[in-house]
Chains A and B, each alone.
Chain A
Amino acid sequence: MSTTSSTGVASKKAYVLAILFILFFWQVAAWFLPDFLMPDVHVALGRLWQELGSGEFYQGLGNSMGRLGAGYGAALVAGVVLGLVGGTLNAVRSTLKAAIIILQSIPSIAWVPLFLILMGFGNLPIIVVVAVGAFFPTALSVMNATESVERVHIDAARVMGASRAQMLKRVYFPAVTPELITGAQLAFGNAWRALISAEMIVGFSAGLGKSLAYSGEIADMTGVMTNILVIAVLAAVIDQVLLERVKHRLLRYQYL
């Protein structure tokens, strides 16, 4: 227990140092470049403060989070189901896995033109791109973990008379949870990148990506840096705070 808490403190310290380091480099660049190319850190922070007081910012934030939630959530559910079912079906497992590995290598953003024409201009193509980005790592990690569930754990459940549904819920699902969480964190990174880039390209209604693209178009570098700042902070908060909490909660037994 002492080791986990001490590494926790160490990584928090490392995080603070890393943030200071990044801001320092930004500020150094700002000193050397003219203001219209690279704003000072405090100028961007001032803009952020201003934005936080405006309704427009929250509308964009809400839209983006809605798309992320829908796409990422759907991908997690679908990935777990496909991973568990695929992992237990010996006949299709290796083919399915090969298909996932091939499809995974396509950058999610490459699907945008297809989905845009298929589904029309709107929220849906963005959500689907996010889902595609998050689905493959989730499904793959769950499938790999399902394959390597210990034989004795399966046999013990069979001997106790578990039905197929009980077996999936009480044995396979908890057994794959540690790998699922790792996969879900990887999937979050993909989903986040897909969301911002899809919003930048599609530009449908307000959103973090659209706001960034717009600032670029009107050469408002303070706006660009402010948006990048928001995107970075949000990703770190969701991944390091939210997902880590979920992880500790679901894997509580491992931390005892």
Chain B
Amino acid sequence: MQLHFERVAKSFGDLQVIETFDDTIADGEIVALVGPSGCGKSTLLHMVAGLQQASAGEVRADGQPVSHPAPERTLVFQEHALYPWMTLEANVALALEFQDQPAREARKQASEWLARVKLDGFEGYYPHQVSGGMRQRCALARAFIARPKVLLLDEPFGALDALTRMTLQSVLRDLIEEERPTVVLVTHDVDEALYLADRVLVFSQRPARVLESFTLGHIPKTHDLTAFADIRREVLTLLGIDTDTPSAEPRRVERGETA
């Protein structure tokens, strides 16, 4: 599904959040939005989901203006979006039950999807009984089970520790490769953007506008991002992070040496 943004602007009362945003995201493209917090990236994502409306301009999905939420455009939230009163399996099945699929069939598919995110054996657990990483795996299963054409991710791994985050990024990448939805990812983590996205858009402070767009292309990647060191440095500089190499070379600690 192609997403088209035409002069999209958003204000809350007097507060201008998005100055203007023009872009076309191709079918199956993976785009990451990075920028300072509170710059309106999430608002943009909510507009694609149909949870919020643009103050001016228009968001179109395959040519149709987006006016309300639909399961074909699904959103993965940062955390706490699983229902605490339901087991993991029931949480995943709910996505199908809301589309009026019979409960038995929904349960069956839910348990298959839990297995795909390596949560087999945890079907009967409640969200508070499992770790944050497992909860987000479950959230991914709940998003993918409805076979969305557009997958929107709002800082999905923001609350996780660095190692768990990397593992989940790989899980997500595999799922995207298998299902090929159009993906829009909002993140604070530049490495996450570089690892997952085909294109990275860097946003300014509020009111948000695009400072720069980096096209990486849809290429196989690993967590070793040294090939993207130049882009990484440029993105960080745009975000106001100091990346000047110090004149003195840092002393390298040899393996086996005890510092």
Contact = CB atoms under 8 A, between A and B. Distances in A.
B71 A159 contact: yes
Given A158-B51, A161-B70, A152 B129 contact: no
Contacts of A157: 98
A160 B80 contact: no
- B interface SS class: loop
A174 interface: yes
Contact of A161 (B80, B99, B129, B142): B99
Interface in B118-136: 126, 128-129
A47 B69 CA distance: 67
Contact of A152 (B70, B81, B99): B81
Contacts of A166: 97-98
A9 B22 CA distance: 65
B77 A156 contact: yes
B85 A159 contact: no
Interface in A150-164: 150, 152-153, 155-163
A73 B118 CA distance: 45
Nearest to B74: A159
Contacts of B74: 159-160
A170 B70 CA distance: 18
B84 A159 contact: no
A253 interface: yes
B126 A253 contact: yes
Give the size range of A's interface with the partner: 20 to 34
A160 B90 CA distance: 14
Interface in B78-136: 80-81, 83-86, 94-95, 97-99, 126, 128-129
A203 B19 CA distance: 73
Given A152-B80, A170-B94, A256-B126, A161 B71 contact: yes
A96 interface: no
B81 A162 contact: no
B165 to A, nearest CB: 20
Contacts of A155: 46, 49, 51, 75, 77, 81
A163 B46 CA distance: 19
B98 A253 contact: no
Interface string A244-256: 0000000001001
A175 B94 contact: no
Given A159-B49, A160-B94, A256-B126, A153 B69 contact: no
A160 B72 CA distance: 9
B146 interface: yes
Nearest to A157: B98
Contacts of A160: 71, 74, 94-95, 98-99, 142, 146
Contacts of A163: 98
Given A155-B49, A155-B75, 19 more contacts: A152-B77, A153-B81, A156-B77, A156-B81, A158-B69, A159-B51, A159-B71, A160-B71, A160-B146, A161-B70, A161-B71, A161-B99, A166-B98, A170-B94, A170-B98, A171-B83, A253-B85, A256-B126, A256-B129
